[in-house]
Amino acid sequence: MSVRHYLRRPPEVSATEAMRLVGEGALVVDVRREREWRDHHVPGSVHLPLTDLAARAEELPDDRVLIAFCTGGLLSRGAANLLAELGFEAVSLARGLVGWRAAGGELEGERAS
């Protein structure tokens, strides 16, 4: 993925807005590494590491909003841009896991509690 994917600003949503979108059927796509995913992730989210995203994007539904998710928001911006280029309706979660936790979002995983 080129640097432009990280520099261009895709639509971003706050954690509160992301929670509302999930309630309406949006899907959180966690683009972090395996270990980070095992430690904690959003319940019901899909794990698709950024390094595999382009090759495995066909596994994602094309009839739902996709919310790209990472730890702090940088990787998710690149992922949301790539997903949009591939024809998906995608947004980036502003502040990623940091914002999700701050808004009281639920987490599950080995270190979620």
Active site members: 70
Distance of alpha carbon 4 from alpha carbon 9, whole angstroms? 9
CB 33 within 8 A of CB 53: no
SS3 label, residue 41: strand
